Structure 1
Amino acid sequence: MTDWSAVIDATWPAAERREVGSWVIRTGKGGGNRASAATATGPVTAADVTQGAQAMQDLGQEVVFMCRDGEDALDLLLADAGYIIRDATLIRACPVADLTRDPVPPVTAFTVWPPLAAQRDIWAKGQIGPERLAVMDRAGGPKTTIFGRIDDRPAGTLFVAVHGETAMLHALEVVPEHRRKGLAQHLTRAAARWAQRQGATRFSLLVTATNAGANALYAGLGLSQVGSYHYRVLPKEQP
């Protein structure tokens, strides 16, 4: 069985991670929830929640806990403490070979590392800034970006990395005026072809449950739901 937490940690790593009591505490440095959320190492109590929250506050970070499949007791404990759900997320996966059967159109997707300025511009327009690009730099295993072109113009980009035999796609972004032209599908297939060359046998990605368009795309490509998680955070104070 795939350890999805390990895959996420390896392919979208925190700047630092350490154990504090019953938690793994991550230093995210602006890398988003995936790189900064605390995860439990076992059963936790209300006192443990307080300790974990304090550890994140000491880092100057928002207090964010991740609740994974099977952590119903933790989820209930956090709910009782006033933490609300943020970003229910699905883990989708399929055999790499399922994505490599169909060809990618010529001059559509290019394997590039490090990313080009044009890719950085595309990510910036999608609110993926230097802090998240730094996460990509930190990933230690095989990794690359896929740069996409449509109508002879820079149009999309993504990041993909491999942990063990599992590849995980992150930060797929397509320029708004070039969406609905099939580029996201082509980039995903190109990423799978690269992953296959690295020896990966499984291809995966993370998508929020509310993103109907992306979920339809990935389901159509054969990526089925294999897990899920969500975050819990304190409500923001109203002005």
Structure 2
Amino acid sequence: MSVDPAILAEVMEATWPPAARQACGPFMLRDGRGGGKRVSAATVEGPWTAGDLVRAEAAMDAPLFLIRAGDEVLDAALAERGYRSIDPVTAYAAPVDALAGDGPARMTTFPHWPPMQIARALWADAGIGPARLAVMERAEGAKAVILGRANDRASGVAFVACHGRHAMLHALEVIPALRRQGSAQNILRAAAIWAKGEGADTLSVVVTVANAPARALYAAMGMVEVGAYHYRQR
């Protein structure tokens, strides 16, 4: 399958939104309030000049740019200005029907909203604290936490939200001691079923290229690469 890059960017922004956005000429600046690079990076939205870039840099306390397909000239210009390329990311997607399969095993997943305390604790143990939970709170469309269980205990957690007919999964975490027991697969299947119930026909996820186990999981579940981006940081 394929997903239009513009649609993918729109879905990511809607389901994992910054606290504020501000145009600076052709650049869109974001205030993530500690919610991570995705909600804090600037993007270019149209033709730009060297002066536009200088003004965008000056408007940010810690200049950070998200580079997508088609941004090759900006990528090269930032490299020349001393920015390093960090955290290359791959986007995966699959139809919800294919991803759901026969559904998760019984009593292994619990969709809910707002996040239960156990879900918050699992995220906190993985380094996902209040600032990222605030990102989830800001998402305006249908959304849910998927809590996973394995061996009679909470095993993992993820956040999923919808934008139109597309859903995106974020912040998937599984307790290290309970990995390789099917919890992540069950969470993904439950997320697909939930998304279908909200009218979505596609589920996507973004993951760093360095996260080989997650990429292998998504590929094994039939998700295909539909996009990529990276950051430039001074």
TM-score bracket for the superposition, by shorter chain length: over 0.9
Cα shift at 1:103: 2.4
| TM-superposition CA deviations, 1:57-96 (whole Å, max 9, x none) | 1xxxx32100001211111111111111111000111111
> 1:15 is matched with which residue: 5, 15, 19?
19
Q: Do the aligned residues in 2 keep the contact of 1:86 with 1:232 (CA within 8 Å)? A: yes
The residue number in structure 2 matching 1:28 is 32
The residue number in structure 1 matching 2:51 is 47
Q: Percent identity?
A: 48
| TM-superposition CA deviations, 1:156-175 (whole Å, max 9, x none) | 10000011111000000111
Query: How do residues 1-239 of structure 1 correspond to structure 2 at under 5 angstroms?
Result: 1=4, 3-57=7-61, 62-234=62-234
Aligned AA for 1:127?
A: G
Segments of structure 1 that go 5 or more residues without pairing to the other structure are 235-239
Aligned AA for 2:101?
A: R
Q: Do the aligned residues in 2 keep the contact of 1:91 with 1:227 (CA within 8 Å)? A: yes
Q: Do the aligned residues in 1 keep the contact of 2:29 with 2:41 (CA within 8 Å)? A: yes
**Alpha-carbon distance between aligned partners in 1 of 2:222 and 2:70, rounded to the nearest angstrom:** 25
Q: Do the aligned residues in 2 keep the contact of 1:43 with 1:74 (CA within 8 Å)? A: no
**Alpha-carbon distance between aligned partners in 2 of 1:63 and 1:35, rounded to the nearest angstrom:** 13
Q: Do the aligned residues in 1 keep the contact of 2:90 with 2:225 (CA within 8 Å)? A: yes
Cα shift at 1:131: 0.2
**Alpha-carbon distance between aligned partners in 1 of 2:91 and 2:103, rounded to the nearest angstrom:** 25
**Alpha-carbon distance between aligned partners in 1 of 2:56 and 2:8, rounded to the nearest angstrom:** 22
Aligned AA for 2:105?
A: P
**Alpha-carbon distance between aligned partners in 2 of 1:103 and 1:66, rounded to the nearest angstrom:** 35
Q: TM-score, normalised by structure 2?
A: 0.96
**Alpha-carbon distance between aligned partners in 1 of 2:116 and 2:130, rounded to the nearest angstrom:** 13
Q: Do the aligned residues in 2 keep the contact of 1:90 with 1:225 (CA within 8 Å)? A: yes
Superposed CA RMSD in Å reads: 1.0
Aligned AA for 1:20?
A: C
Segments of structure 2 that go 5 or more residues without pairing to the other structure are none
Cα shift at 1:186: 0.7
| TM-superposition CA deviations, 1:82-125 (whole Å, max 9, x none) | 11111100011111111122221111000110001111110011
Cα shift at 1:44: 2.5
| TM-superposition CA deviations, 1:19-70 (whole Å, max 9, x none) | 111211111001111111000011333322221122121xxxx321000012
Paired residues, number = 230
**Alpha-carbon distance between aligned partners in 2 of 1:197 and 1:149, rounded to the nearest angstrom:** 22
Say which is worse superposed, 83-92 or 42-51, in terms of deviation: 42-51
Q: Do the aligned residues in 1 keep the contact of 2:90 with 2:209 (CA within 8 Å)? A: yes
Q: Do the aligned residues in 1 keep the contact of 2:162 with 2:195 (CA within 8 Å)? A: yes
| TM-superposition CA deviations, 1:135-181 (whole Å, max 9, x none) | 00000001011001111111110000011111000000111111111
